[in-house]
Every structure is written in structure tokens, then in C-alpha cells.
Amino acid sequence: MQTSRARPFKEYKEVQREKGADPDIQLVCNDSNIFKWTALIKGPSETPFEGGVFQLAFAIPEQYPLQPPQVRLLTKIFHPNVHFKTGEICLDILKNAWSPAWTLQSVCRAIIALMAHPEPDSPLNCDSEKNEIPSIPPGYRKRAKLYSVVHMRTIILHPP
């Protein structure tokens, strides 16, 4: 059990030391459980998510970093690679492309990149996938922006 806590504690210390170093990501460890984290990430610029702040929940397995964390978006977004109801994120590094070199911070950065550049080969939100891929028509952007504005109010009014 001691070794399973070593990596999360290392990342916790690093986050504390570099607090504010990345203005797009705020990682917070649960006070009573090193295996539960939350993050606030800023929506990438020049996307429907620009100006928004999105909350993530991390559940770290005891085999971390040999196994990836389970991550889901708590803030609802309209995106082809995010399941609208559950917040599940379809991202290769959270599945078969995981490497112990990834950290919670770098996972947040990858999710921000996915928000800006959807992956058409692995849609979870089939309605979004039909509207967005391959050409990203204006209807997708408007709907994604609307969802961001509506669901952002919850995060702004009730921060973690």
C-alpha cells in the first residue's frame, strides 16, 4: 500500500510547489483521500469552450502510475469525445496509450487539447459526432457554446 501512495504524494508535492505555474489548470487533491482529485481547466481559446472553466474528477487506482486514472468531466459539455450524461472521456492515453510518464497535470493538458481538436475515430457523443465530423459546421459550435454557457453557471456559482 505504501508504494501505491508514493506517486500521488509526489504529484501532490509538485502541484503545491508549482501552484499557479499553469494558468489553465488548477489541480486539487481531496484532503482525506490521496486517490481522489479534482481539477478546473480553462476552455481552449478559439473553441466553443473559450472563456469557460470545466471541472474534472480523478479517481486514481492503487496501481497508479502503472494504470491510468479514471477521469470524467463533471461540467457537461457538448463534444464528440465526451459522454454527455456520464462525463466519460474517450482519450487514448486514458486507455491503451497510457504510460507511467503521464501525470495528472499532463492528463489535464491532453484533455484541453482534445477539447480543441476532437478525435473523429472515437466518438462517445453520437449526436455531437454527426454534427461535427468531418467539417465542424457552425451548428456544432453554437450548440457547444450554448452548453458551455449554461453549464458553466454551476461551476461559477458553486466552486469545488
Active site residues: 90
Spatial contact of 25 and 39, defined as CB atoms under 8 Å apart: yes
Spatial contact of 37 and 107, defined as CB atoms under 8 Å apart: no
Give the strand pairing for 33-42 and 70-73.
unpaired
- What DSSP character marks residue 57? E
Amino acid at 98: W
